[in-house]
Structure 1
């Protein structure tokens, strides 16, 4: 199974991104040449999805340091850490961004005795490794998750979790794509995902590319479909999962999980190990990004409310672990007791 598009690619000396704010109406690839442009692309959701943000941030860090003329490692490291904090500020909830940047930081420190130009090359090489690893990991997530899917199932998903949000294939969408490739005859319900319509704009675009049968629904239709017995499984992605299994994901995920439990529907979260945050004990400690009111009061820059209508716009919510059936990872399926079994993932 091959993916016909790349949301992120490294071309000789710069980054190229598929601008997701333009999809599905226009397929525009943009050159990104500076760390400031990477920060802007992440903040404005031209690049989005936790794994993709981490990949973009890794390349962005290289773009930030490539022309530094530091005299020694100490001064170089000061600048490196300044750029790391700058990139982290673009979107604080998705843990993959800080994970990728800290991985590079540790790699740099392990090579601190090398020439600074060689260290810069190591940063770029590490970014490429993170990118390549994510492609392999997402494929494995899809293969593991597809085993849970029975023939003829209707699967509901939220937001966008495909190749646009990762190095390739996706997380939750990878499960769907691999189940379809296994001739499971599935059908997908796609939440539109207000306010920025990532489901309507992006997931439908990816499913059309893959020729997977689907219907888009309004976010508020999901509960009715579950009550009618028209949903067999829900699978979503994640931006951060704490040590106890509490899960931060796109706003609207929590009510889906509650409705799934009420209707006895399995609710799975698909994610790479890099999205687990073992340093954070529960979801109460997760910083939730709040975005501009205009994303709620406008659609495609057209106002849909009276002038100066106040709006509350959190980008994510947190689903308590008790509503989650299991986590689909590259190492297999994690079932309760989550706190114990998540730790086992990293002990092996």
Structure 2
């Protein structure tokens, strides 16, 4: 509702993107006990005391769900992962691992509270041993033995990217492109989605990608150049934005934080699967495939948020409990 008022209906404060959250009817002692950390952050950055004045809030993006594709090795009995397996949490680039929040294993359609911390701790404790085993038992040669020409080639390739950005004079401001990208993705692919709006955003993002090829940097120095760093990151962000939109368009259902008014129901028969995006070098565009989710240990069920489903309760009570 807050998102709809702020973004879709433009009914926020002064026509902007904020609304009031009034906590002033609650006692200071209660608010400090329940929301102490949040209140401290708000006072620091907003300069107002939420105990005395209504808070100005906006539904912002604070986490990117999903991440790099990684593999894992299942135990022989099928119950969980094999401890210390060299391939667990390895990406499709041999020897490159993705631990914690950068991979996709623990997120799915939404992220439960503390799952980010869980993924960091679990991957480090459970899969870190696999890296040691890989380096010790499976690598053909240590990195120090790789031919110097490989490093020189990659260094030259990256330097050419930097030089091209520094020398380009197309007139496009990278920060303006970034703002337009953020506004478009906020409107099309956050809380509420439709195919028509995502298709419109996809066209816009592809237009911004073309404009990004004509960026001009205001700082052309080679020392702590934040413009250069941002411009390089922006091109990657535009690719990620395209992936998010194409994946959202292809997933014709609602699941977790992915809510589409044109497909409001979850469809396990078709979409109980991870969205996997791959880069097509011939087209420069992402391609979408699906990786089935193994739900043998925890079967999916309706998220009723406290509503009682008697038939489902009877069925789950009859089933044997699963322990990890």
Say whether the fold is shared (TM-score over 0.5). no
Q: TM-score, normalised by structure 1?
A: 0.22
* Structure showing greater Rg: 2
Q: TM-score, normalised by structure 2?
A: 0.23
| Bigger relative contact order, structure 1 or 2 (CA pairs below 8 A, ≥6 apart) | 1
User: Per residue, is there more strand in 1 or in 2?
Assistant: 1
